[in-house]
Amino acid sequence: MRAHIVFSLCLALAPAACGKSSDQRSFTLQGQVLSVDSARKMVVVKHEEIKGFMPAMTMPYEVQEVGLLDGLAPGDLINATLVVFSNGAHLTTVRKVGTAPLEKPPAEAPNPPASSGFELVRPGEPIPDASFLDQGGRKRRFSDFKGSPVVVTFIYTRCPDATFCPLMDRHFVTLQKTLKQDSALSGVRLVTVSFDPVTDTPAVLTGHAKSLNADLSRWTFLTGDRDEVDQFASRFGVSVTRSLTDQRDITHNLRTAIVDADGRLVKAYTGNDWSPDQVLADLRKLE
């Protein structure tokens, strides 16, 4: 959260210097490479606890330069530098220190598509299913939305930075308005997923929906089991880290995505610089 605020100030004052801000935080990340995706500058790492920052987990990480992935292969053990800034994180150094057998070689994995469960979904691929609770406390599965195109975003209601989660909310308010007026888009659903289930209970989400004048016949707010939400969100490229001492102290990036009526990813927007008009134009191309 602190990082959010620093980043916004920094954007306003000195955009060019932003990347070099001394307020960004660096951590040493040690782990094993599970997969490498040079086209997207991504590497999935199963890593140890990062003291004071995040527990051990498996997650996709972006690298600062694609060259950092040269020669890396699944199974490699690495020491890397993770730099966390407001709208995400990336690896700035990657050093191979060994190799070890992968726990589950892809060939023996139980599911033929052989994913670690955390790999990014690409356009055209089906969105994984997950179960949630909606703002009314009802059990919902993401697959329940099949049959309608969905615009989905990830937020938490306590986000203090007006250019992050609250901006996603405002964009969705704008989308809701147009979707209502444009009969060609009347079937489109909006889904906002909270990655802060500790705070964002169904009751809190109901209040949040009210404050946004959300039309609940079109716009659904979801919360759920933290790990399940995290895993679902990570498939869209969302990374969420919570302070070890306070689960509500959250650092996160942003992803907003269009999912078609068959439940396949159409497009994912990164960060906070997409506009409702862009999303509407992409929705109109669907049919």
Residues forming contacts to Cu ion in the complex (CB under 5 A) are 159, 164-165
Q: What are phi and psi of 139, to 5 degrees?
A: -70, 130
Task: Enumerate the β-bridge partners of residue 219.
Answer: 190
Residue 190 or residue 238: which is nearer to Cu ion going by CB? 238
Residue 164 or residue 221: which is nearer to Cu ion going by CB? 164
Residue 8 or residue 58: which is nearer to Cu ion going by CB? 8
Query: Considering the complex, what minimum distance in angstroms separates the CB of residue 8 from Cu ion?
Result: 11
Residues 76 and 224: their CA atoms lie apart, in Å, by: 34
User: Sign of dihedral through CA atoms 164, 64, 60, 149?
Assistant: positive
Spell out the residues 6+ positions from residue 175 whose beta carbon is closer than 8 angstroms to its own.
151, 190, 276, 279, 280
Residue 159 or residue 179: which is nearer to Cu ion going by CB? 159
Query: Considering the complex, what minimum distance in angstroms separates the CB of residue 165 from Cu ion?
Result: 4
Would you tell me how many other CB atoms lie within 10 Å of the CB of residue 107? 7
Q: What are phi and psi of 278, to 5 degrees?
A: -60, -45
Query: Considering the complex, what minimum distance in angstroms separates the CB of residue 248 from Cu ion?
Result: 12
Residues 23 and 14: their CA atoms lie apart, in Å, by: 13
Residue 119 or residue 200: which is nearer to Cu ion going by CB? 200
Query: Considering the complex, what minimum distance in angstroms separates the CB of residue 44 from Cu ion?
Result: 24
Residues 18 and 21: their CA atoms lie apart, in Å, by: 5
Residue 57 or residue 168: which is nearer to Cu ion going by CB? 168
Q: Which alpha helices (DSSP H) does 182-275 contain, by range?
A: 202-211, 226-234
Produce one character per residue of 189-208: b if its CB has 16 or more CB atoms within 10 Å, e if not.
Answer: bbbbbbbbbeebbbebbbeb
Query: Considering the complex, what minimum distance in angstroms separates the CB of residue 167 from Cu ion?
Result: 9
